[in-house]
Every structure is written in structure tokens, then in C-alpha cells.
A and B are shown apart, each in its own frame.
Chain A
Amino acid sequence: MATLLDYCSLVRSKNAGPFTLTFDFMCHDQGAYEALVATGFLNKDLFAALYDADPEQILVVNHPLALAVKVSLPRPTVQGDLHDTDCYAGQQYAPLMDMEVAAD
């Protein structure tokens, strides 16, 4: 079965300000983008389970010109606060990349 990295040339997590965690999934090409979006894999429930977020507060946006899917959610710990582990939120995408992508 395909993993997220089979669809994407870049999987990235970043801060969008100190209180928001954001993920970018940049697909290899038009075909990969359309196939990934069609699977519905990158949905609110996945991120709610992995990052302890309320699905209501998760934003999933498809960006056809960038061939990208973006997901934003409340940062589990405020950036740089006591017990934050990743000041730039730069490694938070890691568990996603090898997950098997099943069609919805």
C-alpha cells in the first residue's frame, strides 16, 4: 500500500505563530495531488487523534495551484513554553510520512 511519501515531494510542519501548528503536504505532480485528495486520508479525525486537537478547531485546505494540502490546528504546547519539545514545530510531521494511505 502507498505511504504519504509516495504522493508527496515535501511533508513539512511549522509554527503559524506561537499558538498554531501547521502542516504542508506538497504532492509530486497533478496526478499525485488529485489521487491524495481523493483518498480523503488527510482529514480532521487523523490530526485530532495524533495531536490531541478538537476536530472543530482543525482547518484542512486544498491548494490546487500549489498541488498541496494544508492542515492547521492548535499547537499542543505553546511554542517555547515549559515542556514544549520543538520550538520551530519542525519535526512534528514525522509520524505521518510513513503511514499507509488507504482510500476513504
Chain B
Amino acid sequence: MELRILAPTGALGAGFDADAFERGVAARPDVIACDAGSTDSGPAALGSGTPKLSAQAVTRDLRLLLKARDRIGVPLIIGSCGTSGRDTGVDWVADITRTLAAEENLHFRLGLIYSDQPADRLQHLHDAGRIRPLANAPAIDRDLFERSHTVAMMGVEPIQEALDAGCDVILAGRASDTALFAALPHLRGSDPGLTWHMAKTIECGAACAIPPSANGLLVTLRDDHFDVTTLAAGSRLTPRSVAAHTLYENADPFHIAEPSGVLDTTDATYETVDDQTVRVRGARYLPADGYTNKLEGAELVGHQTVIIGGVRDRVVIDTLPKLLPMAKQYFDAKILDVFDGHVDPSDIDIDYRLYGNGAVLAGHEPDPLTPRELGVLITVTAPDQDTAHAIATFVAHASSHLPIAEYDGLVSTLAYPYSPPEMDRGPLYRFTLNHVATGVTPTELFRTTTEEL
């Protein structure tokens, strides 16, 4: 058996080299697949439903994919539509697809797979003890599901149902990246270990190539190995670069969880075929005891207004960190005064980050930093945007007139690059779930619709 799988890009809308893509299409792949989302850009996409990448960039990529798919008559599978894989993301990419089909006179069966989870279903699962935490998961309670927007991450099965239903183009909500590439090979009876390892290798496009890029990779999957080939001119693959991709955005390179089991790459081997191609063997797939779907959720934390400034005076640089606790007390009193007691200072977060003096590292700086200049980012978080903005106006004013004991008169302590200095940033969201739903069938959490274009 031989199957060819084309991964044209690391993410729909990230852009890819059209010539590299054409080389992949010329190899007559059996399926073209890519993802269009990730949690890696943060909770905003899931919380708000707003995609990370622009409609223009997604349209550019999707036009090339739809036309090539039409020419060679193979399925096109796109997962995690609209960054988060929310229903709104699927509908957004579907609208772009319909417009492109009309513009390019393309006709096909479109399958849409939705993965939003209603709160009452999640509460029912929670009450039945069927929501299980994964590593480092936050604590949850049943009320969370009403505050949070939740998607389930599908495996191969809903995609396979859509393929069986004759869908030519499948736009999936939140999906395991690997499932997009593994769905068709599994249907054709390929080896599970090789298939999942192949899928993990190409899910980020040519991230494993030298130089790394969002361009395409082609996999040729055979009975006892797969060959992975980089498609962009001037790019290379080495056994090591392919082996190292199991490290990427992954906690454990040898054990990678999927809804139906675990990919074990401990015994995988990698050998050079030529400068562009590496042959991979030996991964195993260990089926799990029961099927699970991962859940991802995001809830609104508040609304933010930010202020950016800078300090160059060494006396102010030395004094500023010591003044901040005092400033916070002053702001608490000011909030009570300005809002006449209607805003509780404990509901407001005023955060100063001193860039140049340890703002970037989440842990501890091993050695003290001695900045000559400080960047100051002040973030005000409040339950609503109007309150955040109102507080930021007096925080900006006071922060630029801090009392410096060494000086006799008033100085401007912060250099503001903008007028006004405060900028409304909008809502802040928080990831709420790192859990799986247990005891589910592989398709019960997902809904599929089809239409003829």
C-alpha cells in the first residue's frame, strides 16, 4: 500500500510558497490537509470567537487549496477553523469557502463539523464524574461551564464520517492537528503507529525543515515506513531535524496522547533518503482503555486599558519600584473617591511591568538587572471597559507625577509616547480547562452538516 499526504502549510492563513505547493500537488497526493488554529496564540480567540489571522490571508491560502483540490479530485481537510475551532470559526471559513467556490466556479460537497459544547451537556458530564483533569489542570466547578466557552477536540472519527459521506472539502471545528492527516490513512487501513507519527511530523508544515518554515511537506506512507519530503526550494530535512520535531510544543517527545490512545516514538528510527527526504520507521500506537475527547474553555476575566511609558532618569529608575506599593494605596483611595464607593478597589487590578528590570521572565532573575532605561507598561483590569478607562486616566496622570524624595520640585517621571497615554485593549480571557471528557463515543460531541456547492 502507498498513500501520499500533502501538508501544504503550517496553518491556513500563515501563507505558503505556491511553487512548493505545486510540487506537492504534482506528486498526486491522496489527501490535502492543514490546521487553521491553535491555543498557542492565547485564550482570546476561544474566548471572543475572533480569528487570529485575517480574512484576506485565509482567502489567499484557501483559493490555492480549493483550486488544486478540484484539479486532482482529492479531499481537502482543514481543522480548528478560525483559530479556536469554535462554531463561529467554522462558519467564518465556510463563508470564505462559498465565496471562493462562486468566484472560481468550483463545485463540491462541503462538510462542516462543529465542536462547541453546550453548558448543560458539560454539567451533566461533570456531575457524572466524566470530566477528568490532565497534567497541570486548573480546578473547576460546575458553574464554570456557564461562564466559559468550551470546545471539544475531535479525533479522526468525525472526519472519517464526513469522508464516508462523500465530502470533498471538510471544515472542522477544534480538532487534534494530527487527526486531519491521519483520518484518511486510517480509513484505508494503514499502520496506526506509522500513521500517527507521520501526522505528528507534518502537522506544523515544514517546521521540521532546515530552514524551518510554514511551507509544505509531502509524506509517502507505505506498509512499514513513511518518507517525509520537504517541498520548498533550498530547504532540507535530516534524520535529526525530523526526530527533533517530536519535541515541538509537546511535553514528552516519546509519548503523545490522542483521543483513542498514545503514540509511542521510543523505538522510532530516522534515515536519510536524500537531502529533501527522510525515512521513518518503528513508532507504535498503544490503544487507550477508553475513548476521551480533550476539552478547551475560555472565560472572560475583565476589560483592560493599558498605558505605555518610559524612564531614563537613573534616580527615577531606582525609586520607581519602591514607590509602586505606595501608588497602589493611593489608587485604592482614589477609586473609592472618584466612583463614590460604587467600585470596589479589590475588583480592580493595576499592574506595573518594568521592562529592563525583570518584566519578561515569569520566574526569578538569577542575577539583578541594572537598566539604564526602563519601559513601563501599566495595565488596568476592571469588570467593564468604561471603568478600566476611567481608572487608567488618573493612573496615567499620577504615574507621571510621582513624588521623588531627592528632588525639590515636581518632575515628569514617565515619558509617554502617545497622547492620550491610555489605550483601551478590550476584554481579557483566561483558559479554564485542561481536561478530557471520558466514556464518550468518538462522534457524540460533534455535529456535522453537509451542503452541495
Residues of A within 8 A of B (CB): 14-22, 24, 26, 49-52, 57, 59, 61, 63, 65-68, 70, 72, 74-89, 91-92, 94-95, 99
Contacts and interface: CB of A to CB of B under 8 A. Distances in A.
B41 A18 contact: no
Nearest to B367: A95
Nearest to A75: B136
Given A17-B39, A63-B243, A78-B430, A85 B251 contact: no
Interface in B407-448: 428-431, 434
The 3 closest A-B pairs by CB, nearest first: A80-B42, A66-B244, A19-B136
B365 A95 contact: yes
Interface residues of B, number: 45
B361 A17 contact: no
A80 B429 contact: yes
Given A61-B252, A63-B253, 5 more contacts: A17-B434, A24-B247, A52-B363, A75-B362, A85-B360
Given A15-B40, A16-B251, A66-B246, A50 B136 contact: no
A81 B300 CA distance: 10
Contacts of B428: 82
Contact of B251 (A20, A49, A50, A51): A20
A19 B138 contact: yes
Contacts of A88: 40-41
Contacts of B251: 16-17, 20, 22, 59, 72
17 contacts: A16-B249, A18-B42, A61-B253, A63-B243, A63-B247, A65-B270, A66-B240, A78-B138, A80-B44, A81-B430, A82-B302, A82-B381, A83-B349, A85-B359, A91-B361, A94-B360, A94-B361
A45 to B, nearest CB: 14
